Amino acid sequence: MTAAGAIRVLVVDDHTLFRRGLIALLADDARFEIVAEAGDANEGHRRAAAAQPDVILLDNHMPGVNGVDALAGFRDVAPAARVLMLTVSEDERDLAAALRGGARGYLLKTLDSDMLAAAILRAMAGDSVISPEMTSKLVSAFQSRQGEAPAADAAGDPDPIHSLSPREREILAHIARGASNKETARELGIAEATVKIHVQHILRKLNLSSRVQAAVYLTGRSG
C-alpha cells in the first residue's frame, strides 16, 4: 500500500531487467509510488504526459533518442517533474549536457538504494544531486584552474570566475556536488548564515540566478 503523499516516479530505461529491478526496489519504499515505466524516450514522453510524475529517473544511452536529448521533451510534457539522470556514463560531457538540459541530478547506476532514495528526496526539496564519482571530476577540474591567470572573453573582460574569493571558490565547489548550505557550513566549520551570504555573492558575481545554474557553470568549465 502506497502512503498518502508519496513521491510519484516514472522510470525510463531500455534495459528491462534493470528497469524492473529498480521499480521493485522503489515499490518496497512507501515514500515512493511508481506511476509509469518506459523503455525509450518517446514512450517516456507519452507516459510522462499522462502520469505527470514528480520525479523522472532517466537513462542516458538508449536506442533512438538519448536521455540528454530527450530532456526538452520532458520539460514540455511534464514541466513540474524533476528529472534525474540514472546512467552508467561517467563522461563529463554527458554530465554537462544533462545539467545544461535541465536535469536536476546526475546519478551513476552503481549507487546503492539508500543513496538513490536520498537523492530523490533531495531533488524534491529543490537540491541538485550528483554522484560522488562525478563530483570529484568537477571539483578537480575547478581546482586545477584556480591558479591560472585571468582569461579574457571576446569583449576583453576578465573571466568572472576570478572575481571569487578563495572561500567563495570553496563554496562553489560544494554547490557543484549538490551540498546544501547546512552541509557546506558543517564541512567548512562556518555558520550556515555565512554560507547563504557567500552563495548570494557567488551568484551575483557570476551573473547567475540559482544553485543549479552555478553547478552547470562549473560543469561547463570542466569540458
Q: What is the pLDDT of residue 216?
A: 75
Each residue of 30-45: pLDDT tens digit? 999 999 999 999 999 9
For 83-128, the pLDDT digits (tens) are 999 999 888 778 878 888 889 889 999 888 999 999 999 999 888 8
10 contacts: CB under 8 Å, gap ≥ 6 = 34, 35, 36, 37, 38, 44, 47, 48, 51, 53, 55, 56, 57, 81
Domains and CATH numbers, the chain: 7-130 (3.40.50.2300), 136-221 (1.10.10.10)
Helix %, strand %, coil % of the chain (to 5):
50, 15, 35
**Looking at the predicted structure, is the pLDDT value of residue 16 above 60?**
yes
pLDDT at 1: 42
Q: What pLDDT was estimated at residue 150?
A: 44
Counting residues of the chain whose pLDDT is more than 90, the rounded percentage is 42
pTM of the entire predicted model = 0.68
